[in-house]
Structure 1
């Protein structure tokens, strides 16, 4: 829609003559914002933590040695997987760098061939 149709005047009017439309808050104001930080104290909590750490229901402060052994074996498995993945990613990074080095090495020859082809 053009300015002339809105104002019913021919041509453009000055910006100063336009009505001021300003946004404001809704009637009654905005709803309160939740801003509290809820940072968990541990990544494992609740029933799973009690199970992994060997909590036995009915025995306050005592741990079942079999469950403690299970937790230790889970942690060892986790460390082994993390180390293995880290070494694998190191190898992948080395292979990528080798590929890029080979590309950089032949780039001048490819550029020279392209220049010869484009020459008149």
Structure 2
């Protein structure tokens, strides 16, 4: 907001003209807001098979 002071004929602060800035011509550039999570590490299938194999081996050892 921009206030223009010392305008000729102004008797009070209430007479002050207020100018508010707006967007640039053509609008603002789009905002990139998408999450980009890198795909690193083992897949869900690999984790499941590893846990299942460990569990199976443990049950074999207990039995």
TM-score grouping bracket, smaller chain normalisation: 0.3 to 0.5
Q: Per residue, is there more helix in 1 or in 2?
A: 1
Question: Which structure has more strand as a fraction of its residues?
Answer: 2
Between 1 and 2, higher relative CO (CA 8 Å, sep ≥ 6) is seen in: 2
